[in-house]
Structure 1
């Protein structure tokens, strides 16, 4: 069970990252932390902008260009911040490789966050045409991981 000090440290740690939402269950306790985004006028941003009071600065050079989704190509995006793994263990075969045929529900990769292995499943039937990250890369929320040509 988390005490108040642990919760404050967790909030401060999350505030220093690009994580927008965090949930955790610890036995009978559950905690959910969300950052609010402020909207300034009618400006439209292509990437999330930090809140006005946030000490986090975003430099254009550090933000990777996001691949555009063609009509017949589905882009698999990371649902969380974590570490990308192409296989279930270092000695295991990769879940998928370029050219692999996948079906809806097939495991494509794992994104580990806080020692929890989150299997990322395909939402489309098709063929893997490009893997956009390397094994053990740190990935951000919403970062494109791979492209699948719809069948």
Structure 2
């Protein structure tokens, strides 16, 4: 099921992010961990800030600055982000590249398993929001595409 190395990787995620709770399901089994014995508290938005739109479970949403022409791709996993294609040694995508719906644009490493990050729309890469190797949370914006 999960080995000591996997557990240490999960601990690293807890230490380097605001994640307070994680649940992972693999073909070998399911693991749920809560840091500090309770889920992380929900952070309240400042009074002057407008309420954030509800997120859907598709992994993406229209970006706030121009909902019709810009799409924001979001993470479906908690882990570590990489754009590097290990087979070629090159990045899957770069800024201003054009991608098609269904293209692999990056990976999220979850317990040593690389999960594909797939473009939900066709468009041009406008912005990459996560640095190589950085921890990433569920629902966190990864990149923006111009449709």
What is the TM-score with the length of structure 1 in the denominator?
0.63
Residue in structure 2 matching 1:140, options 129, 132, 137: 137
Out of 38, 41, 57, the position equivalent to 1:54 is 38
Over the aligned positions, Cα root-mean-square deviation in angstroms equals 3.6
For 2:56, the equivalent position in structure 1 comes to none
CA distance in 1, matches of 2:116, 2:65: 22
Q: Which runs of 5+ in 2 are unaligned?
A: 45-51, 53-62
- How far apart, in 1, do the equivalents of 2:144 and 2:132 lie? 16
Change (3 A) 1:107 1:33: same
Instruction: Show the counterpart of 2:81.
Output: 84
Give the C-alpha shift of residue 111 in structure 1: 0.5
Partner of 1:41: none
- Contact 2:20/2:38 (<8 A) preserved: no
- 2:102 alignment partner in structure 1: 105
**Where do 1:24-63 residues align within 5 Å?**
24-26=26-28, 30-31=29-30, 33=32, 54=38, 56-57=40-41
Equivalent position of 2:25 in the other structure: 23
Deviation (angstroms), 1:93: 1.2
Question: Counterparts of 1:87 and 1:122 in 2: how far apart (Å)?
Answer: 15
**Largest Rg, 1 or 2:** 1
Q: How far apart are the structure 2 equivalents of 1:99 and 1:121?
A: 17
**Which aligned runs of 4 or more in structure 1 are off by greater than 6 angstroms?**
13-16
Gap regions ≥5 residues in structure 1? 36-52, 61-65
Q: Secondary structure at the match of 1:128?
A: strand
In structure 1, distance between residues paired with 2:65 and 2:119: 15
Matching residue of 2:64: 68
1:20–1:69 Cα change, 3 Å: farther
Alpha-carbon distance in 1 for matches of 2:120, 2:33: 26
